[in-house]
Chains A and B, each alone.
Chain A
Amino acid sequence: MSDFIGGFWSHYVTYLSLASIAACALLLWITNRARVPGGGDNTTGHVWDEDLREMNNPLPRWWVGLFILTIVFALGYLVAYPGLGSLQGQLGWSTQGEYAKEIAKANAELAPVYAKYTAMPHEAVAGDPQAMAIGERLFLNNCAQCHGSDARGSKGFPNLTDKDWLYGGAPERIQETITQGRTGVMPPMAAAVGSPEDVKNVANYVLSLSGSPHDSVRAGLGKSKFSACAACHGVGGTGNPALGAPNLADRVWLHGYGQDAIVSIINTGKTNVMPAQQGRLTEAQIHVLASYVWGLSNRAAAP
């Protein structure tokens, strides 16, 4: 793999590097042979601009030795490591390889730590302070971007600290969600519900399910139209974790609260994605992470 766009720059760098090293060697060789008139005044005898003279404070010989060593080292280095244009070097070293090696080493060091927790049930892991410290760091690095660093989510991103679960709150279900991700689809239902008035009525009915402020006349009218929704959300609107259909009878409003927000969702639908972490995180990490997330709502808050 080459970082150069074309072959030219690789050659350019290669020849320039080698020419520079050769020039250094040549310079050393020339200066090493050069003799200057040795006078009592310690100058090279070179006078210009009438009275400017060049002093000869000679460098020590060992300095030449060091310089030759650096040239030898440079050549050896360029043979062994990538440096000359896009040549890879004899050792086959690369930054990617180094990174992979370090990751593998770190994982190998961490394996015993994680192995202990993988063998434990989630509930027990959630009670282990060290595991929860690991879980917190994993969460902050991988989950907090959407769910917030306090895991309380935001509009469109579920709150993980309450007991309301789209796909079920058992640790195994959480682990599944993290591993495979979820795609929650609410199709546009306006056509199935009926006229815009019907949609408004259904929205008020939905609000009434949780006892939220609503227009009771409209809610009454909307009740019959709710059958279009009941297939997923259930007859009582309590949702269906198997489908990821949210419970409409509680006071959790992931995509906005109030008649307008609900009407908008019915009309346009919603696709909400939780990306799969499989491949980004190891199974052992996900196990600890699932325990941590489960612990957020099932464990007394830590001080």
Chain B
Amino acid sequence: MSASPRPAPRKLIPIVPVESASVGLYEAHRKIYARSIQGVFARWRWAMVFLTQIVFYGLPWLEWGQRQMVLFDLAARRFYLFGLVLYPQDLIYLTGLLVVSALLLFLFTAVAGRLWCGYACPQTVYTQMFMWVEEKIEGPRSARMRLDKGALSMEKGVKKSFKHLVWLGIALWTGFTFVGYFTPIRELGMAFLQTRMGSWEVFWAFFYGFATYGNAGFMREQVCKYMCPYARFQGAMFDRDTLIVSYDAARGEARGARGKQHDRAGLGDCIDCTLCVQVCPTGIDIREGLQYECIGCGLCVDACNTVMAKMDYPPGLIRYATQNGMAGRWSARQVLRRVLRPRVLVYSALLGALCLGLLASLVVRTPLKVDVVRDRASLARIAEGGMLENVYRLQLMNATERPQRYAIAVRGLEGLSVAAGASLEVQPAESRWVAVRLQLPYGTAAPGSHTVHFDVRFEDGASHVSEKAVFLVPR
């Protein structure tokens, strides 16, 4: 036994690095090399890529009768949607569609966070496609990082050029398809082959193509972080029962690497492999909790579950979980039960009602539109036979794709009748102005203004519209 007294442990003053004294208000762009990963959510993401893009690229090529099935003819202000011909007057349907879309976004976001961002947003979808091309040409994450760090070489030049060529190909095809929704795409294709596309069509094809190339090739997560307003306000729709991609800190910490023998030595389940960071398309560390950059794609869930499986740990260290569920260690069942909370039910009810209303109004929509404009200069005149006459111009629109005969009648005043030309034809999807005279035997109505109604109907009886007008009797 040594009597020599042990020196009292020296009081250590922890060395804290002087925090880098200053940072700028602007930061240089840091390129993100996302590692690709397999898994349930990665498969869902691919499924959504195919679903959305087959529709986007394919839809304009489908025909409906003699015309393109979906075509927004801006110049003629006619919007062909399957069997429908919509006019600017039908703006209410677009409004309805936008409200439905907004409510859908609210609903999805309330239930499971930024599903739209992670799976369906074009920014996400095209970025994913472009990343796939990048990986096929330049190799996996580490190879890409090496390639970018390395000096310019033959290999680098060839790979980079080839990548950009493919990207530009996809981008221009996207731009071309986009324009194909506004100009008949088959004619556009012919025009393109004969290099006689209109200058505006070329502009928009290149503009949209350039936007695709730039956003999916270069801007990527920057769009979500700095440009997209939806990204920011979706956070406001979360509540404590919203399913968000979460790291189970209670289970994972303290994180740390460990040997093959799984000697935990007080460590949590997180082995600090950083795979979740490497696969993240926005380059964040989900273990720091919910962040505004997180687009909710679930790739870190896939990454972590792969690792958990290798370690023989149960999956779900990173998972879709609610804040309540995480705090109360709820089972999946308990979490799902909270999905049907008032907020979600109200969104669903509104959505259902709106969809039903929209559908019903589309079904009963009259393909016959009438606008009555009374001649402004002359109040009334006396016509042959002692008739008091008022003149109107009727704009008759035929929103069907067949020629229609129109019958015009009037009601509202005893003895009032439509003078010659009460029946006429309007060509498919055309509108026509016609002058219509209303006659009333002189002296049968009191002087002043009388409300009358034009009744306009298709002669085959299918549709009918009543439009208010004014008949003036002078003193």
Contact = CB atoms under 8 A, between A and B. Distances in A.
Nearest to A162: B384
A144 B19 contact: no
24 contacts: A31-B25, A31-B26, A32-B26, A34-B25, A35-B22, A37-B19, A37-B23, A38-B19, A38-B20, A39-B19, A56-B23, A60-B27, A60-B226, A61-B27, A61-B28, A144-B375, A145-B376, A148-B378, A149-B375, A152-B383, A152-B437, A155-B378, A303-B421, A303-B424
A153 interface: yes
Contact of B26 (A60, A140, A146, A152): A60
A63 B383 CA distance: 72
A34 B24 contact: yes
A70 to B, nearest CB: 15
B219 to A, nearest CB: 9
Interface of A: 31-32, 34-40, 56, 58-64, 140, 144-146, 148-155, 157, 251, 257, 301, 303
Contact of B377 (A32, A58, A148, A301): A148
B92 interface: no
Nearest to A65: B26
Contacts of A301: 420-421
A59 B226 contact: yes
Interface in B373-394: 375-379, 381-384, 389, 391, 393
B22 A157 contact: no
A301 B389 CA distance: 19
B21 A37 contact: yes
Contacts of A150: 391, 435-437
Contacts of B393: 140, 149
Contact of A36 (B23, B226, B375, B420): B23
B313 interface: no
B226 A155 contact: no
B377 A146 contact: yes
Contacts of A40: 19
A71 to B, nearest CB: 16
Contact of B27 (A37, A58, A149, A151): A58
A37 B391 CA distance: 78
B222 A60 contact: yes
B25 A56 contact: yes
Nearest to A34: B25
Given A148-B378, A150-B391, A38 B437 contact: no
Nearest 6 pairs between A and B by C-beta? A35-B22, A154-B378, A38-B23, A150-B435, A58-B27, A149-B435
B425 interface: yes
Given A59-B226, A148-B391, A148-B435, 20 more contacts: A35-B23, A36-B22, A36-B23, A38-B23, A56-B23, A58-B26, A58-B27, A60-B222, A60-B226, A61-B29, A63-B226, A145-B377, A146-B377, A148-B378, A149-B391, A152-B437, A155-B381, A257-B382, A303-B423, A303-B425
Contacts of B381: 152-155
A251 to B, nearest CB: 8
A121 to B, nearest CB: 27
B203 interface: no
A59 to B, nearest CB: 5
In the complex, which range does the number of interface residues on chain B fall in? 20 to 34
Interface string B20-58: 111111111100000000000000000000000000000
Contacts of B383: 152
Contacts of A32: 24-26
A149 B19 CA distance: 82
A54 B189 CA distance: 54
A144 B424 CA distance: 21
B26 to A, nearest CB: 5
A31 B435 CA distance: 66
B433 interface: yes
B420 A58 contact: no
A146 B433 CA distance: 18
A149 B384 CA distance: 18
B292 to A, nearest CB: 8
Contacts of B21: 35, 37-38
* Centre residue among B29, B421, B435 by max chain A CB count within 10 A: B435
Nearest to B23: A38
A154 B25 contact: no
B26 A59 contact: yes
Interface string B423-438: 1110000000101110
Contacts of A60: 26-29, 222, 226
Nearest to A145: B377
A64 B226 CA distance: 12
Contacts of B433: 140
Contacts of A155: 378, 381
A40 B23 CA distance: 11
Contacts of B28: 60-61
Interface in B231-255: none
A131 B310 CA distance: 82
Contacts of B375: 144, 148-149
Nearest to B437: A150
Nearest to B19: A39
Contacts of B29: 60-62
Contacts of A61: 26-29
* Centre residue among B24, B28, B222, B383 by max chain A CB count within 10 A: B24
A154 B377 contact: yes
B399 to A, nearest CB: 21
A276 B425 CA distance: 35
A58 B393 CA distance: 61
Interface in B156-215: none
A178 B26 CA distance: 70
A103 B19 CA distance: 68
Contacts of A140: 393, 433
A59 B25 contact: yes
Contacts of B425: 303
Contacts of B226: 59-60, 63
